[in-house]
């Protein structure tokens, strides 16, 4: 453990902290949704629009963010992201109208697309082929820890104060991220943009898949499977099964979901180190098989003990969390990594939207077992497509 940690560049540690700090507001505001609804007298449709606005804004900005990450200095983009995130969080904390809060959330989503593309491309460029999985695993772990703890802290503060406190937290986190970027990346120029290249040599999305080839396709398929399954299961299927079928209290439901997140942090690092050691390409198909395997016994949940055991089993799937990011880095030269990460985030955001929507529709029309079949079947389809991609011989 000490050996691979020593091989991680100092700037990578900084960037692993910067990304979750710039996105802390996203998870910190979930506990105050009921307070926001009451404060602005919102109906449930307006609440849904408020929650979905960030994801839609990020989805729309993913590909433009890739162009920005490719053409401009990454450090300058992160500084701008920190300043803009701080300002928007302050304005959201002072909002007196629903539209102001909605606009702030959309801007946060758009800025998130930029800082994700920059940080992820920067990290894969900093890492060597030998430890790329571990570096990306550290980033995933830092993000998971933020998702675990920021809602707890924000919820406690909001209970004592009001719904504005998570946005104050977001502003403070953005200020800290800005300080880290200014101090911790000042001597690193890993991401400078490529605007100096001639138009005929400039990276473009049109040449992204031909450049990345099979590795890139497998990375995107694996990323879709991870995000689709995670969102469908943890956001919709497991809460519906536990609450509506088994009658679990909100506390027990939260314990089940939080347990997955906590266990996932350690599993992510272990899986990343193993992939670096034994070969990331060789781990793609076993990784997809693992995603299918851990979802398979969910159909046998009939009581509370089996619910917790099989829900927590999902944490094993985190062993492949950093693999798609590493594959994108392996597949692409440095000039294309900004575009590659933007494409990866586009695939992930589509999965984040599709997962809960698909699971909800399946629960309504097919029941619990039918919903399980749809989620499991989608993961199995991704595994099959990745297998076919792996068998395809590269063009000569």
In the structure, what pLDDT confidence band is assigned to residue 220 with cuts at 50, 70 and 90? Answer: very high
Q: Is the pLDDT of residue 57 over 60?
A: yes
Q: Is the pLDDT of residue 2 over 90?
A: no
Q: Phi-psi bin for 175: left (phi > 0), alpha (psi -120 to 50), beta?
A: alpha
Residue 237 neighbours by CB distance under 10 Å:
27
How far, in Å, CA of 290 to CA of 367, rounded?
A: 25
Which pLDDT belongs to residue 1?
Answer: 46
Q: Is the pLDDT of residue 17 over 60?
A: yes
The CATH number of domain 203-396 is 3.40.50.10540: no
For 175, the token pair is 């200020």
Specify whether the CB–CB gap between 312 and 259 falls below 8 A. yes
| Mean pLDDT taken over the chain | 85
- Sequence-distant (≥ 6) Cβ neighbours of residue 40 within 8 angstroms: 46, 97, 98, 101
User: Which residue, 217, 171, 221, is CA-closest to 348?
Assistant: 221
Q: Quick one: angle between helices 250-278 and 323-331, nearest 10?
A: 40
Which pLDDT belongs to residue 111?
Answer: 94
Question: What is the number of H-type helices and E-type strands within the chain?
Answer: 16, 0
- DSSP state letter for 233: I
Q: Phi/psi at 66 (nearest 5 deg)?
A: -65, -40
Give the three-state DSSP class for 335. Answer: helix
How far, in Å, CA of 96 to CA of 58, rounded?
A: 24
In the structure, what pLDDT confidence band is assigned to residue 196 with cuts at 50, 70 and 90? Answer: very low
CATH number of 8-187: 1.20.1250.20
How far, in Å, CA of 158 to CA of 36, rounded?
A: 11
Residue 255 neighbours by CB distance under 10 Å:
15
Which pLDDT belongs to residue 389?
Answer: 77
- Sequence-distant (≥ 6) Cβ neighbours of residue 334 within 8 angstroms: 125
List the alpha helices (DSSP H) in 127-207.
132-160, 165-184
Specify whether the CB–CB gap between 299 and 372 falls below 8 A. yes
User: Which residue, 116, 369, 386, 382, is CA-closest to 229?
Assistant: 382
How far does CA 242 lie from the centroid of its chain? 25
Q: Is the pLDDT of residue 109 over 60?
A: yes
User: Which residue, 341, 281, 286, is CA-closest to 129?
Assistant: 281
Q: Is the pLDDT of residue 312 over 80?
A: yes
The string of pLDDT tens digits covering residues 317-341 is: 999 988 998 999 888 888 888 889 8
In the structure, what pLDDT confidence band is assigned to residue 84 with cuts at 50, 70 and 90? Answer: very high
Which pLDDT belongs to residue 284?
Answer: 86
Which pLDDT belongs to residue 201?
Answer: 55
Q: Is the pLDDT of residue 356 over 50?
A: yes
User: Which residue, 95, 107, 98, is CA-closest to 43?
Assistant: 98
How long a stretch of residues is the chain?
A: 396
Q: Where in the chain is the domain with CATH 1.20.1250.20?
A: 8-187, 203-396
Specify whether the CB–CB gap between 151 and 28 falls below 8 A. yes
How far, in Å, CA of 220 to CA of 385, rounded?
A: 11
Which pLDDT belongs to residue 231?
Answer: 86
Specify whether the CB–CB gap between 344 and 223 falls below 8 A. yes
């Amino acid at each position: 453990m000490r050996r691979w940690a020593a091989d991680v560049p100092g700037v990578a540690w900084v960037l692993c902290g910067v990304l979750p700090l710039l996105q802390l507001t996203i998870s910190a505001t979930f506990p105050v949704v009921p307070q926001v609804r009451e404060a602005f007298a919102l109906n449930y449709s307006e609440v849904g629009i408020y929650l979905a606005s960030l994801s839609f804004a990020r989805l729309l900005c993913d590909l433009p963010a890739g162009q920005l990450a490719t053409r401009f200095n990454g450090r300058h983009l992160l500084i701008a992201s920190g300043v803009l995130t701080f300002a928007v969080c302050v304005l959201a904390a002072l909002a007196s109208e629903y539209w102001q809060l909605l606009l702030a959330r959309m801007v946060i989503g758009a800025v998130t697309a930029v800082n994700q593309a920059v940080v992820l491309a920067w990290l894969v460029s900093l890492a060597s082929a030998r430890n790329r999985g571990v570096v990306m695993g550290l980033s995933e772990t830092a993000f998971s820890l933020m998702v675990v703890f920021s809602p707890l802290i924000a919820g406690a503060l909001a209970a004592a104060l009001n719904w504005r406190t998570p946005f104050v937290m977001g502003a403070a986190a953005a200020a800290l991220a800005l300080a880290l970027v200014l101090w911790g990346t000042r001597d690193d120029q890993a991401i400078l943009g490529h605007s100096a290249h001639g138009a005929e040599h400039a990276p473009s999305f049109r040449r992204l898949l031909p450049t990345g080839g099979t590795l890139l396709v497998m990375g995107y398929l694996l990323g879709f499977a991870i995000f689709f399954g995670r969102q469908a299961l943890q956001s919709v299927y497991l809460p519906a099964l536990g609450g509506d079928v088994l009658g679990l209290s909100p506390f027990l439901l939260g314990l089940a979901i939080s347990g997955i997140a906590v266990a996932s942090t350690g599993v992510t690092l272990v899986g990343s180190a193993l992939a670096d050691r034994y070969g990331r390409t060789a781990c793609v198909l076993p990784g997809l098989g693992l995603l299918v395997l851990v979802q398979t016994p969910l159909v046998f949940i009939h009581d509370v003990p089996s619910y917790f055991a099989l829900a927590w089993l999902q944490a094993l799937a985190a062993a492949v969390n950093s693999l798609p990011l590493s594959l994108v880095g392996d597949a692409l030269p440095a000039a294309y990594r900004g575009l590659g990460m933007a494409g990866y985030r586009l695939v992930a955001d589509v999965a984040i939207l599709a997962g809960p929507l698909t699971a909800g529709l399946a629960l309504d029309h097919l029941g619990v077992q039918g919903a399980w079949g749809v989620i499991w079947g989608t993961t199995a389809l991704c595994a099959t497509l990745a297998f076919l991609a792996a068998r395809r011989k590269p063009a000569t």
